[in-house]
Amino acid sequence: MDLDVVNMFVIAGGTLAIPILAFVASFLLWPSALIRIYYWYWRRTLGMQVRYVRHEDYQFCYSFRGRPGHRPSILMLHGFSAHKDMWLSVVKFLPKNLHLVCVDMPGHEGTTRSSLDDLSIDGQVKRIHQFVECLKLNKKPFHLVGTSMGGHVAGVYAAYYPSDVSSLSLVCPAGLQYSTDNQFVQRLKELQEPEAVQKIPLIPSTPEEMSEMLQLCSYVRFKVPQQILQGLVDVRIPHNNFYRKLFLEIISEKSRYSLHQNMDKIKVPTLIIWGKQDQVLDVSGADMLATSINNCQVELLESCGHSVVMERPRKTAKLIVDFLASVHNTDDNKKLD
């Protein structure tokens, strides 16, 4: 081999070694930074832009793609202790001609966190309505999507502000009253003891607890490297006190069954999506909602737990697109199989 060619490979190898070593160092030493870069990359790839909007002294952070048109805009509400980027896996499979808005829920990520804020379900519904008004999203009725806590808020929102919402998708929503408690709810009832508040299963403080939470929420057993588990914990730990406060608020007597108490007031076409193997919120909640809401479609997913958005993003997107097509008679029913 020509000496000049050998020198070229040596130089190229040395040049590539620097970013490769930097990546490895980031993975091992700063996994939380790598996670943030991951979300930034996917937002950019999917064309989701981050913006901020203010209501008086309160700031909302949201991401969006597209512009309002003749089709309903879609507003997506994430679950407890998550953030707007949790929807990226679903956004990937949604048509690009839809106007999408994903907002950080009160106190989460880039949205204002205030010790004076009302974190009850009613309080969160009022905040989301402020956000909607700021964007003038309700200039035309929109499709509202929510999962878990976000589903709880979405359902109550549709009951309180029926003229804002054209249709509704609830993905394993919280807020229903069951005749019998599953194992997870039984564990929650032990949280009356002060020391038990530090052991809420959905608020991990160690990689081991993070792994247990993922197993609780997912039917699919993801093999997550220890460094990523540590990164996920590192990102959450500074917020855990807020998460504890929020959690105790949404399971309080004032909020726990808000959706159940208001589900008969939901008058818009509604899609219910639930994982059959949900260990957090029992799948029988789907029948409760279907019984109380007229024009309600139920889709139960096999081999799927509570984290429907993470486990079955393609299927979730297809169900939403098909539902919108059937309800709003659109012709953009994109094949996602």
Q: Is 179 a catalytic residue?
A: no
Known catalytic residue at 260? no
C-alpha 33/C-alpha 107 separation (Å) is 21
Among the listed residues 148, 167, 169, 218, the single catalytic one is 148
The CB-based long-range contact list for 314-320 (8 Å cut-off, 24+ gap) reads 314/93, 316/90, 316/93, 316/171, 316/273, 317/90, 317/91, 317/92, 317/93, 317/94, 318/93, 319/169, 319/271, 319/273, 320/74, 320/90, 320/94, 320/143, 320/145, 320/169, 320/271
Q: Is 2 a catalytic residue?
A: no
Q: Which residues contact 103 (CB under 8 A, 6 or more apart)?
A: 60, 61, 62, 75, 76, 77, 84, 111, 128, 131
144 membership: H or E segment, kind and range: strand 142-147
Catalytic residue among 117, 167, 306, 307: 306
| 189/325 Cα distance (integer angstroms) | 42
Q: Which amino acid is at 77?
A: L
Candidate list 167, 278, 282, 307, residue with the active-site label: 278
78: Cα separation from own chain's centroid? 3
* Cross-strand partners of 62: 51, 103
Residue pair 55/61 in contact (Cβ under 8 Å)? The answer is: no
Provide CB contacts within 8 A for 33, sequence distance 6+: 26, 231
Catalytic residues: 148, 278, 306
